[in-house]
Amino acid sequence: MPYEHKPYLLILIAPSGGGKSTLCDEILKRYSDFVYSISSTTRQARGDERDGVDYQFLAEAEFLKRQKAGAFIESALVHGKWYGTSREFIGQQLAAGKNIILDIDVQGALKILASGIECVTVFLLPPSQAVLRERLERRGTDDREAIELRMQNAADEIALIHRFDYLVINDALESAVGDLEKIIRAEKLRVERYKEIRENYYRSENA
Ligand code: 5GP
């Protein structure tokens, strides 16, 4: 009888442009027990983003209606647009025993921490401010004003870094993925993540 684990939320927090989505994809490819939480947002889709895959894109009135109805476990205004995490999806996946990766901002992460839901928080930091700026410029999806807003938000987010569990420097993709894998492995070994340790232990004797 294998020892089973209790599922948890793996929250990745990073200034936008930090390359979080590539990292999420790598983790999802490697771990079949992880699913991705698709957020809802009122911002416009960028480039090749797809509705229902990258985000659920909603008109503001619809987002606010759902927010009022309690559809989000957390929601926040980021760069002037609304973002929220679906309560229904999180509940269903945890009940199905899946771990969930969330790509959300600092405010959202702090709200989930305060809610008492089982979670592990990882801050992904670009190697430097200059690298973050370069990434945002290279992405070519934001105008100058939007880039300045993202840089300012990054500074505000980094100021709260001590509230989170882990720090991964997001320099080369491979090493950041390697660090995340180590975190996932270590988290799996935490006593509190196991279900029914004693039952399993004694059962093996009587089987
Ligand atoms: P972007 O518009 O660049 O995709 O994301 C902007 C910021 O919003 C990023 O920091 C991203 O992590 C954050 N974000 C995405 N989804 C959510 C969500 O559901 N809740 C919160 N609080 N932040 C989110």
Q: Residue 28 has what pLDDT?
A: 96
Per-residue pLDDT of the chain (207 residues; tens, 9 = 90+): 688 999 999 999 987 766 788 899 999 999 999 999 999 999 999 888 999 999 999 999 999 999 999 999 999 998 889 999 999 999 999 999 999 999 999 999 999 999 999 999 999 998 999 998 998 888 877 788 888 988 998 898 899 999 999 999 988 889 999 999 999 999 999 999 999 999 989 986 665
User: What type of residue is 169?
Assistant: I
| Token digits of residue 77 | 């205004």
CATH dotted code for 9-37+99-206: 3.40.50.300
Other CB atoms within 10 Å distance of the CB of residue 42: 19
What distance in Å separates the CA atoms of residue 187 and residue 185, rounded to the nearest whole number?
Answer: 5
Q: How many CB atoms lie within 10 A of CB 140?
A: 9
pLDDT at residue 138, as a whole number: 87
* Residue 16 beta carbon below 6 angstroms from any ligand 1 atom: yes
Q: What is the pLDDT of residue 17?
A: 66
For the beta carbon of residue 16, count every other beta carbon within 10 angstroms: 22
Q: Is the CB of 12 under 6 A from ligand 1?
A: no
Give residue 202 CA to ligand 1 midpoint distance, Å.
45
The reply to whether ligand 1 has any atom less than 6 angstroms from the CB of 42 is: no
Nearest CA to ligand 1 atom 11: 104
Looking at ligand 1, which residue's alpha carbon is closest to its atom 17? 104
- pLDDT value for 207: 59
- pLDDT at 204 (0 to 100): 66
Task: Establish whether residue 157 lines the binding site of ligand 1, counting it when its CB lies within 6 angstroms of any ligand atom.
Answer: no
With a CB cutoff of 8 Å and minimum separation 6, the contacts of 146 are 79
Whole-number Å distance, alpha carbon 153 to ligand 1 midpoint, is 12
Q: 125: which residues sit within 8 A by CB, 6+ positions away?
A: 14, 15, 18, 158, 161, 167, 168, 169, 170
Residue nearest to atom 14 of ligand 1 (CA): 104
Assess whether the C-beta atom of 104 lies below 6 angstroms from ligand 1.
Answer: yes
Choose among 83, 115, 101: nearest CA to 27.
101
Buried b (16+ CB within 10 A) or exposed e, 47-86: eeeeeeebbbbbeeeebeebeeeebbbbbbebeeebbbbb
Quote the ligand 1 centre to 2 CA distance (angstroms).
36
